[in-house]
Amino acid sequence: MIQSTGKTNLLGLTQPKMEAFFEQLGEKRFRAGQIMKWIHHYGVDDFDAMTNVGKALREKLKACAEIRGPEVVSEDISKDGTRKWVVRVASGSCVETVYIPQNGRGTLCVSSQAGCALDCSFCSTGKQGFNSDLTAAEIIGQVWVANKSFGTIPAKMDRAITNVVMMGMGEPLLNFDNVVDAMNLMMDDLGYGISKRKVTLSTSGVVPMIHRLGEVTDVALALSLHAPNDELRDQLVPLNKKYPLKELLAACNAYIGRLGEKRVLTVEYTLLKDVNDQPEHAVQMIELLRNTPCKINLIPFNPFPHSGYERPSANAIRRFQDMLHRAGYNVTVRTTRGEDIDAACGQLVGQVADRTRRSERYIAVRQLAADEPGSLVQPVGR
């Protein structure tokens, strides 16, 4: 467990929240922009290094504030250039962040929770249960850590990180407010200035929060589909028992429809040998997505111990892809990256504090998935 200092961590404050913080100190709002540039553009965590801030204000900030990113436990580099950071958060758990360089892009895969409550049967992260939500500082802190490790100062050189995907550990929509604040910092010019088209939130299908997301942001949306019918998806993604495919796709279509500009849904589909990779599954998927503007990412399963699943053959993957292509879909097969450092999709495990523990929230999710009384999430403010 990381001890709290009782100080405000400025790392996770959006521009409006930073301005409000300085107003409470009796300072001018423009100070927010100054400090945000030092933090996010230059990676500075020492107030004394902020040369355009007066000494009196620096002393005031040192007394009540801090700039504290997550503790880096380890950094591994794959033979293919993929990097993985294990960072420790305030709960004492460790989460993982992965950087994938490819074709001139640098995509950072960011975690939103320590562990995950959704228990998807093919994902190693879900097998450790849920421990805690990450704060906005712990989420954006992963971008901050990665950016600093490359020595990339946006004011001086091209950025190594061009895209961010909320596809790491956890279900982002179950940590809604912190994730939205972090994404706003990613897109803010005082933060990392990443285009809204290059920040992607991936969800397993928390329908009420998809609707709420459309009210506050216009980032790209990805759906972890993994099955083309409710019966199979109930087994692979237990949340489907609460929010079945018809309801889920209606929510996704409504979100995409709000964006306009010919934006599309990214559909993620993990291929599992003899489970969801057969021709009949491709036919069902073609029909299911007929009215959804989308592109499809096929993800060959990345094995982990005791999963009970296997990766399909190359021929089975190609057959599935070809069937979708012939039906007119834009389909890519995701190249497995970082497998030698356990950084591939579905392999992120981290180290959740007290793995045998199951929080009340985790139990609530399991009850919900089994159609027992109660509700996992309610749209805030509705």
Which residues are part of the catalytic machinery? 96, 345
Residue 296's region, left for phi above 0, alpha for psi from -120 to 50, else beta, is beta
* Residue 67, token pair as written in the block: 């700039």
Q: Is 272 helix (H, G, I), strand (E, B) or coil?
A: coil
Q: What are the Cα distances from residue 218, in Å, to 272, 288, 331, 370? A: 32, 24, 23, 32
DSSP 313: P
DSSP 270: E
Report the alpha-carbon distance of residue 270 to residue 345 in Å, rounded.
9
Residue 193's region, left for phi above 0, alpha for psi from -120 to 50, else beta, is left
Which has the closest alpha carbon to 291: 320, 331, 257, 325? 257
- Nearest 5°: phi and psi at 129? 80, -175
Contact between 168 and 204 (Cβ < 8 Å): no
Which is it for strands 294-300 and 330-333: parallel, antiparallel or unpaired? parallel
* Residue 294, token pair as written in the block: 């989308």
Which has the closest alpha carbon to 68: 157, 145, 182? 145
Residue 43's region, left for phi above 0, alpha for psi from -120 to 50, else beta, is left
